[in-house]
Chains A and B, each alone.
Chain A
Amino acid sequence: DAGVIQSPRHEVTEMGQEVTLRCKPISGHDYLFWYRQTMMRGLELLIYFNNNVPIDDSGMPEDRFSAKMPNASFSTLKIQPSEPRDSAVYFCASLAGRQGEQFFGPGTRLTVL
């Protein structure tokens, strides 16, 4: 398996623009997690899905952020409108079963100017 795939790897955009981050989890994994990493706040969980259903979105910072998982092999995290404080590395991770190794994708480095 290719592992968790994320795109794009780097995104530079201007404040106010819409940003869409994409993730393909490992086939057969039933959990998908979106994390954000910054120097100030560390590695934060934004939202996670089980069998394509959002389970906990308490980490989503505000209404500008939304996430979807239309099927078992694809998820998106959207920011609209983007702000400079959204600049961070966004990771997607997938998991098989409730406890165990979460496999992280390579991350998307987002810069909002």
Chain B
Amino acid sequence: QQPVQSPQAVILREGEDAVINCSSSKALYSVHWYRQKHGEAPVFLMILLKGGEQKGHDKISASFNEKKQQSSLYLTASQLSYSGTYFCGTTFGNEKLTFGTGTRLTIIP
């Protein structure tokens, strides 16, 4: 039931855009996105609830497609500070969060 993320890793130049996908084999209730920098704890980015709502802040946004059981995280005009590993986490109606396989994002100057 672990969601699958793609790509596994991506390297961008500063200012480029990226999309990270998260797919589930089971109907989703909510999708959570976290970012983890090397040697640190995961930090919450946003949550999307069932309903197809798109959320975002600054230049990071996300969408949730219930029918496809997918969520995508969009990073526009990437900055060096965006580097890290991005995890999606899914719930199926309760508070239990199952994290995806992770996507390592490297931003180079």
Contact = CB atoms under 8 A, between A and B. Distances in A.
Contact of B44 (A50, A102, A106): A102
A25 interface: no
A34 to B, nearest CB: 12
Contacts of A107: 41
A99 B49 contact: yes
Interface residues of B, number: 21
A45 B49 contact: no
Contacts of A100: 47
Nearest to A99: B30
A43 B43 CA distance: 13
Interface string B75-109: 00000000000010001001111111110000000
A101 interface: yes
Instruction: Specify the main secondary structure of chain A where it touches its partner.
Output: strand
Contact of A45 (B32, B42, B47, B97): B97
B31 to A, nearest CB: 11
14 contacts: A42-B2, A42-B99, A42-B101, A43-B87, A43-B102, A44-B99, A48-B95, A48-B96, A99-B49, A99-B95, A100-B47, A101-B44, A101-B47, A107-B41
Nearest 5 Cβ contacts at the A-B interface: A104-B41, A101-B44, A43-B99, A98-B95, A104-B42
Interface of B: 2, 30, 32, 40-44, 47, 49, 87, 91, 94-102
